[in-house]
Amino acid sequence: MRTNTGQIIHLEDYRPTDFVLERVDLTFELDPKETKVEARLIFHRREGVDAAAPLVLDGDELTMTGLLLDQEEVPTALYDVADDTLTIRGLPETAPFEITVTTLLSPETNTKLMGLYRTNNVYCTQCEAEGFRRITYFPDRPDVLAVYTVNIIAEKATAPLLLSNGNYLGGADMGDGRHFAAWFDPHPKPSYLFALVAGDLGVVEDKFTTASGREVALKIYVEHGKEPRAAYAMDALKRSMKWDEEVFGREYDLDIFMIVAVSDFNMGAMENKGLNVFNDKYVLADPETATDTDYANIEAIIAHEYFHNWTGNRITCRDWFQLCLKEGLTVYRDHEFSADMRSRAVKRIAEVRHLKSEQFPEDAGPLAHPVRPTKYREINNFYTTTVYEKGSEVTRMIATVLGRDLFKKGMDLYFDRHDGQAVTIEDFIACFEDASGRDLGQFSLWYHQAGTPLITASGSYDAAKQSYTLSLEQTVPATPGQSAKKPMHIPLRVGLLLEDGSEAKPATVSGADVMADVVHLTERRQTVVFSGVPSRPVPSFNRGFSAPINLHIEQSAEDRALIARHEIDLFARWQALNAMALDNLAKAAVQARSGQPIACDEALIGGLLAAAGDERLEPAFRAQVLSLPSEADIAREIGRDNDPDAIQSGRQAILSAIAASGKDIFTRLLGEMTLSGPFRPDAASAGRRALRNAALSYLVYGDDRPEKAVSAFRSANNMTDLSQALTLLAHRFPDAEETLDALATFKKRFADNALVIDKWFAIQATIPGASTLERVKALMSDPHFNPSNPNRVRSLVGTFAFSNPTGFNRADGEGYRFLARQILEIDPRNPQLAARILTSMRSWRSLEQVRANHAQEALKEIAGAANLSADVSDIVDRMLS
């Protein structure tokens, strides 16, 4: 395995390859234990490169059985095979030449799920970022683009289906029980987009006619019998294709688009050219087994991978430092798609919740890094929420800064100018500068400076002058390797609300560039004066979350309530209530820790219940309002010396106070939001279910008996309601007879459905309290627990570490010791999975001292273990430094 070499790759060392790859011809003879791969690669020496320069190819855990130059065996004196490279000397000075490499692979024993592996008897590949080098020796980097032909030979009985990228060329029976198929992909691509799938799968077929009238065959492959559960994914795919034509003017470019769902996959999905491979969790859905969240995720991820066809595949990254070029942009595109398919405001709230709960902690801890990093040790560890989600926010800010039309002009220029190329963030920004004539120099700092900027704001009103003055100060916290930061260009959308809820229309604004409601902050300190403001206004900051910042402002509950009642920006209404709740919850944690009585602010209760009962607001929005900030959100708000137990009891007390005051409203909502008729996964129906379940949750927490949850469990006719009821039972009454019954019933009913059993594990892993660790350990001996399936490991071990603050952060440190043992066990089998789960400890320094000490010990135990993978070693070292 690629153990920790400690080698650091630097952006500044980038240089193009010495040899240009012209064509790739691959032949696979598939066998579970011994697959033979013949790679024929046509190269020529790049102009100006030294005639003696050798060809150096990447490899990883390969067995090479043959090496030819122009069909002649290469003498052993002319090549060297090292652990991770193949070096060939004595190559032609100018003429093109053909290298033929033969390698032997064992897909069956490939537990890392990188390169060619087996999942449920299906051959499958994963090549991003550096998996292709586990298939053959190759210049395995994203700036090497070539046209591929792929021949696949396999046993007909076990692998009737032979798939690769591009268009199908043809195939035939070989007469010996085997058959073959040939595929040709006319679009030059980097090796990370290569894919091969072979096996026996069922298919759902459809077609799509592009704007220019070409017909594209659409196929989604799933395990036999699961075809009906792929219908929603197919629908989402067709909507994505249409949307990309309408909104970004992007048409699909092959005759066929295929998706394959597999059950063993390290990530969510992969955008291989014409042949996307998906974690089946993001394909399969029906009302009985998938929640509304599952449906929304499927829609978003299907769209994401499809959108990569232009942002990632047609235009790719020059090197892996540019990962956000494809990921940040594609996440932005999938966010916009979902916003158009669903409620824009509710979608934005969900995005911001996710950003704050995942990316903000990353940016505030030892793993912080710029959206466009300048160095890495293990690229697998840079598929982060900073690259993806913050990268998306930065793209969104370009749209905010330039406005819709200029943003579109810049995107069009990007597609025109760079189609078929491997480019950088600088190339991307230059398109927007050229299209708009604007200088984005300072704005670019968003790509280079890590850390979430903090804006401290205070306002004062001068009645005599009828002017309102905002004093704003921005600071960007120090992050690893970056102690001093420059001021950033922050586009902050601000509204000034007057007492009656209307919006002030200032006559003039000085002290900052202001366009519409966007205040452009560019200096460390700025004083912005709004004149012609008739009475003291209430400022509503960061409408629509126009910039990914933390905001510090002293604002009374009354002012927040005014925003919550009157803002035209629905996101800002939610934000005001959320900020009010967070203030109160942070105070409650302090009170709980010092044994004081916990006070729930009447303004908070009033604000939440008013929104909950407001029929002019859509149910999904009201559900978001009712969902209190999580324990992790509260910990982040407090920032340091955190005691998860105190946070939890404080939150519980606030929840009970709201439950008590809102009993009537919640009871009413329970009835009003009941849906009749067949299940529909659309956003409006999902919103009603969300509001109904939010109300139910308060009713259950406001009651000492489990009856309401039991009855919800019994009457549920879809997975959203059923899993919600089971969660309420398990979390509120973990040891009740009724809970044990419900858990057993659920398990029995869904024993054959791995994705639902994952939920069963996750619900139990998140039961609050110290004793859940023992429960988790016991669940690891359950016959359903399978340590080699990533989804299963994530659902139990990952969910416990990431989403159970009181259980995982036990004061005695047992949670951390348990995780350390798990990481060391998972690592040799699947380093990527181990490293990712380990990031659950990224905020360890913000814990109170006793827990922090235990956490540090556990991290040291991992760091000190022998034979750590590069993946885990990189994460643990950064977490400890």
Q: Tell me how far apart the alpha carbons of residues 502 and 568 are, in angstroms, rounded to a whole number.
A: 9
Shorter beta-carbon distance to ligand 0A1: residue 143 or 305: 305
The β-bridge partners of 467 are 462, 531
Q: How many CB atoms lie within 10 A of CB 674?
A: 11
Site stretch for ligand 0A1 (CB under 6 A), options 225-233, 262-270, 413-421, 612-620: 262-270
- Piece of the chain touching ligand 0A1 by CB under 6 A; list 65-73, 268-276, 575-583, 639-647: 268-276
* Percentages (nearest 5) of helix, strand, coil residues in the chain: 45, 20, 35
The DSSP bridge pattern shows strands 215-222 and 256-262 to be parallel
Q: How far is the CB of 830 from ligand 0A1 (least distance, A)?
A: 10
| 871, burial (CB in 10 Å: exposed 0-12, middle 13-18, buried 19+) | buried
Nearer to Zn ion, 326 or 587 (CB): 326
Sign of CA dihedral 427, 432, 435, 439: negative
Tell me which of ligand 0A1, Zn ion, none is bound by residue 268, counting a contact when its beta carbon lies within the kind-specific cut-off of 5 to 8 angstroms: ligand 0A1
CB of 229 to ligand 0A1, least distance (A): 21
Amino acid at 99: I
Please tell me the distance from the alpha carbon of residue 674 to that of residue 669, in angstroms, as a whole number.
8
The per-residue DSSP string of 740-800 comes to HHHHHHHHHHTTT-HHHHHHHHHHHHT--STTHHHHHHHHTTSTT--TT-HHHHIIIIIHH
Residue among 304, 308, 289 at smallest CA distance from 337: 304
- C-alpha distances out from residue 35 to 42, 140, 473, 575, 831, Å: 23, 20, 61, 55, 23
For residues 321 to 340, the per-residue mask of contacts with Zn ion, x marking binding by CB under 5 A and - elsewhere, is ------x--x----------
Q: Name the strand (E) or helix (H) holding 416.
A: helix 404-418
Q: Take residue 183 and report the two structure tokens written for it.
A: 């595929």
Coil, helix or strand at residue 520: strand
When the beta carbons of 392 and 648 are compared against ligand 0A1, the nearer one is: 392
Minimum CB distance to ligand 0A1, residue 707 (Å):
44
Q: Which of 25, 60, 128, 378 binds ligand 0A1 (CB under 6 A)?
A: 128
State the binding string over 20-39 for ligand 0A1 (x if CB under 6 A, else -): --------------------
Within the chain, what is the greatest distance between any pair of CA atoms?
Answer: 95
Phi, psi dihedral angles at 564 (to 5 degrees): -60, -30
Rounded to a whole number of angstroms, the minimum distance from the CB of residue 672 to ligand 0A1 is 39
Q: What sign has the CA pseudo-torsion 819, 821, 822, 826?
A: positive
Residue 351's binding partner among Zn ion, ligand 0A1, none (Cβ under 5 to 8 angstroms by kind) is none
- Asked whether the beta carbons of 776 and 796 are under 8 A apart, the reply is yes
Length of the chain: 881
CA–CA gap between residue 64 and residue 101 (Å, rounded): 7
Within positions 289 to 328, which residues make up the interface with Zn ion, using CB under 5 A?
327
Strand segments (E) across 606-648: none
* Integer Cα distance of 863 and 879 in angstroms: 10
CB of 140 to ligand 0A1, least distance (A): 13
Q: Which is nearer to Zn ion, 171 or 268 (CB)?
A: 268
| Residue 126 interaction partner, one of Zn ion, ligand 0A1, none, beta carbon < 5-8 Å per kind | ligand 0A1
Which residues sit opposite 151 in a β-bridge? 27, 182
608 binds, among Zn ion, ligand 0A1, none (CB under 5 to 8 A by kind): none
- Site size toward Zn ion (CB under 5 A) is 2
Minimal distance in Å, beta carbon 308 to Zn ion?
Answer: 6
Among 43, 138, 382, 383, binds ligand 0A1 (CB under 6 A): 383
**Interaction between residue 283 and ligand 0A1 (CB under 6 A):** no
Six-digit token string for 672 = 């009003």
Residue 533 sits in the site that holds ligand 0A1 (CB under 6 A): no
| Number of residues counted as binding ligand 0A1 (CB under 6 A) | 12
- Pick 127 or 154: Cβ nearer ligand 0A1: 127
State how far the Cα of 753 lies from the Cα of 878, in Å rounded to an integer.
Answer: 38
Contact partner at residue 859 from ligand 0A1, Zn ion, none, CB < 5 to 8 Å by partner kind:
none
Q: What are phi and psi for residue 388, nearest 5 degrees?
A: -80, -65
Q: Which of 196, 267, 604, 628 binds ligand 0A1 (CB under 6 A)?
A: 267
Residue with smaller CB distance to ligand 0A1, 185 or 871: 871
Q: Does the protein bind ligand 0A1 through residue 266 (CB under 6 A)? A: yes
For residue 318, the minimal CB distance to Zn ion (Å) is: 17
- Nearest distance in Å: CB 266, ligand 0A1: 4
* Binds ligand 0A1 (CB under 6 A): choice among 271, 280, 336, 721: 271
Nearer to Zn ion, 330 or 343 (CB): 330
**CA within 13 Å, CB half, 336:** 18
Q: Is 126 in the site for ligand 0A1 (CB under 6 A)?
A: yes
Catalytic residue among 130, 271, 305, 637: 305
Spatial distance between the Cα atoms of 381 and 368, rounded to a whole number of angstroms: 12
Tell whether residue 871 is a contact of ligand 0A1 (CB under 6 A).
no
383, interface contact from ligand 0A1, Zn ion, none, CB < 5-8 Å by kind: ligand 0A1
311-370 residues near ligand 0A1, rule: CB under 6 A: 327
- Of the pair 162, 303, the CB lying nearest ligand 0A1 is at 303
Which listed residue (67, 116, 269, 445) binds ligand 0A1 by CB under 6 A?
269
The partner in contact with residue 728, picked from ligand 0A1, Zn ion, none with C-beta cut-offs of 5 to 8 angstroms by kind, is none
Name 339's Cβ contacts closer than 8 Å, sequence gap at least 6.
347, 348
Residue 270 within binding range of ligand 0A1, rule CB under 6 A: yes
d(CA 760, CA 777): 15
User: What are the phi and psi torsion angles at 634 (to 5°)?
Assistant: -65, -40
Strand partners, 207: 217
Measured from the CB atom, is 267 or 725 closer to ligand 0A1?
A: 267
Is there binding between residue 791 and ligand 0A1 (CB under 6 A)? Answer: no
Buried b (16+ CB within 10 A) or exposed e, 417-432: ebeeebbbbebbbbbb
305 included as an active-site residue: yes
Query: Pick from ligand 0A1, Zn ion, none: which does 25 bind, CB < 5 to 8 A by kind?
Result: none
Alpha-carbon distance 822 to 763, whole Å? 19
Q: State the distance between the two ends of the chain, measured CA to CA, in whole angstroms.
A: 25
CB of 281 to ligand 0A1, least distance (A): 13
Indicate the residue whose CB is closest to ligand 0A1: 267
With respect to ligand 0A1, which residue has the nearer C-beta, 476 or 835? 835
Q: Minimum distance from CB of 381 to ligand 0A1 (Å)?
A: 11
Give 248 or 468: the residue with its C-beta nearer to ligand 0A1: 248
Partner whose footprint covers residue 479, from ligand 0A1, Zn ion, none (CB < 5 to 8 Å by kind): none
CB neighbours of residue 104 within 10 Å: 16
CA distance 599 to 654: 8
Task: Give 132 or 468: the residue with its C-beta nearer to ligand 0A1.
Answer: 132
703: CB partners within 8 A, 6+ apart:
none
Q: Which residues bind ligand 0A1 (CB under 6 A)?
A: 126, 128, 266-271, 304-305, 327, 383
Q: Which residues bind Zn ion (CB under 5 A)?
A: 327, 330
Q: Which residues are tagged catalytic? A: 305
